[in-house]
Amino acid sequence: MRSYIFELTVSDAHDTLFAKATIRFTVLAGTKDISFDLVSRKINGRGMKVISVHEVNQTVSSTHINDVLRCSFLTRLKPGTEKIITINYKGIPADGLIISKNKYNKRTFFADNWPDRAHHWLPCIDHPSDKASVEFVVRAPAHYQVIANGIQIEESNLNANEKLTSFRELIPLPMKVAVVGIADFAVQQAGEVEGIPVQSWVYPEDRVKGFYDYEQAVEILPFFISRIGPYPFKKLANVQSKTIFGGMENAGAIFYSENSVTGKRDMEALLAHEIAHQWFGNMATESHWSHIWLSEGFATYLAHLYLEQKYGSDTLKKSMSLERQTVLAFTKRKTGPVVDTSVTNFMDLLNANSYQKGAWILHMLRTVVGDTIFWKGLRTYYGLYTGKNASTDNFRKVMEDVSGIDLGQFFKQWLYKTGHPLLSVTWNYNASLRSLSVTITQQQKYLFHFPLTIQVHSGDGIINKTFSISQQQTILAIHSALKPGNVSIDPNVQLLFDGTIREK
């Protein structure tokens, strides 16, 4: 698609959405038929009913069956042909646009499209690989305020009871992050970062607490701009909403759960996570749902890196240790690779593999290539794929080019294989040789290749030694003048593993 214009009319008297979609697209292959995702009206009365489809002033033949709107043209369209059609439709969304009441019993309308729920209320290509510019034109009762992607280009009182508001985002977006929110809001200009207005949109009842909590975004935004590149959108609005998620990274208009407002500023990590998504997920977007770690793993780890630079390295170690425990607990319930093409219910991808393990993969990659190359690799990857789609293999190739390191084994074992190293480590000290012998055994079936740091505490100080492990069993010797008081593995929290260490 090239562009969408969605004209929406909502009411306080009923839940029916009256809408018109104007869609501009370019034909990629010769065809007479163009199809869009749009949920059909169901027996319970929910879903969308298409009233008409037009091209200019000419009716376009269409069918709307099994959630697919198929538009048929009189003549075959040649590759490269550009078309504009309008679709008039109406209905009560079963999902995607949440029409409900907030915790203060006030009526609200909030889009919540992730992963592929946009087509419950918008005719579109509901897949991350298809991006288009988006405009929302909303007619609503006059007491409402409207927030959406992009810049507000109009707000007009049509009469005493109705107002028209429109927002336009020219940067092509995947539909998962193209949204509108309609509610009674209190709005604050929280600040400005390098010319980007940072706004807080909260329920009026939460005005004081919400403004206090959300204005932390002004502190967070500069970190990502300095590390990755210019902020890609014209505004950053942080919005209290009815999203079913803790936060949803909608482009330039992030929606947070209505209970995110506490007045305690305890959502700093969540704010950082969703703001990081503006670069990774919104602009550099995964090519398929199975590569979602390129979005969620990145946002999770980048939020940790923001907190690391603010609070210190011990904060990162503590966070990654907790994330490791989350991954280990998850693998006891479910097995599968991070890049999992077998998943068809994409909600199932909201799991520890995509978030915490994805973050751990970046953490370990940072250890392998070093800080400077790691950040250079992220900037290069973002620069190449901003406004585009990327796969895990695309990211691997960028990191290999930047680092000069063959990362094939690293990506294969951590992203395409199931599990992690399960280590049994034993040690004993030979006083006559002044030598510590350490035996490392990989107990899982698939053998991983990884660096492992062993820390030895003895009377003559602390010794840290890092070794490359690739065999099922590895025996190492470490010189130590005195018998160690303690031997530990991975003291700096740099390896995703499970295991034990004991004196033999």
Cβ atoms of 73 and 159 closer than 8 Å:
no
- Fold topology of 284-416: Neutral Protease; domain 2 (1.10.390)
pLDDT mean across residues, the chain: 96
If pLDDT is split at 50, 70 and 90, which confidence band does 498 have?
very high
Between CA 150 and CA 166 the distance in angstroms is: 10
What's residue 459's pLDDT? 74
pLDDT at res. 75: 86
pLDDT, tens digit (0-9, with 9 covering 90-100), for 466-481 = 999 999 999 999 998 8
The pLDDT value given to residue 314: 96
Percent over 70 (pLDDT), the chain: 100
The 10s digit of each residue's pLDDT in 93-119 is 999 999 999 999 999 999 999 999 999
In tens, the pLDDT along 138-189 reads 999 999 999 999 999 999 999 989 999 999 999 999 999 999 999 999 999 9
Class of the CATH-defined domain 3-183: mainly beta
Distance, CA of 264 to CA of 269 (rounded, Å):
13
Q: Do domains 3-183 and 186-276 have the same CATH topology?
A: no
Confidence of residue 74 (pLDDT cuts 50, 70, 90): confident
pLDDT digits (tens, 9 = 90+) for 282-299: 999 999 999 999 999 999
**Would you place residue 233 in the very low, low, confident or very high pLDDT band (cuts 50, 70, 90)?**
very high
Domain assignments of the chain as residue spans, ordered by start? 3-183, 186-276, 284-416, 422-503
For residue 57, pLDDT beyond 90:
no
- 29 pLDDT higher than 80: yes
Contact 170, 69 (CB under 8 A): no
**Is-contact 218 246, C-beta < 8 A?**
no
| Mean pLDDT value of segment 250-261 | 98
Output the pLDDT for position 504: 85
Whole-number Å distance between alpha carbons of 252 and 199: 10
Per-residue confidence (pLDDT) for residue 445, from 0 to 100:
92
Token pair belonging to 73: 């043209």
User: For residue 194, what pLDDT band results from cuts at 50, 70 and 90?
Assistant: very high
Confidence of residue 482 (pLDDT cuts 50, 70, 90): confident
- Answer yes or no: is pLDDT of 1 > 90: no
Give every CB contact of residue 399 below 8 A, 6+ residues apart in sequence.
Answer: 365, 369, 377, 381, 405, 407
Check whether 193 has a pLDDT greater than 90.
yes
Pairing of strands 253-257, 236-241: parallel
Just give the CATH number of 422-503: 2.60.40.1840
Query: For position 59, what pLDDT does the model report?
Result: 92
Edge to edge, what strands does the sheet with 236-241 contain?
186-193, 196-202, 236-241, 253-257, 247-248
Between residues 211 and 76, which one has the greater pLDDT?
211
Q: Report the pLDDT averaged over residues 414-441.
A: 95
Share of the chain above pLDDT 90, in %: 93
CATH of region 186-276: 3.30.2010.30
- Written as one letter, the residue type at 50 is V
Q: pTM to 2 decimals?
A: 0.95
Closest Cα partner for 329 from 420, 445, 413, 447?
420
Is the CA virtual torsion 65, 69, 75, 77 positive or negative? negative
Backbone angles phi, psi at 382, to 5 degrees: -65, -45
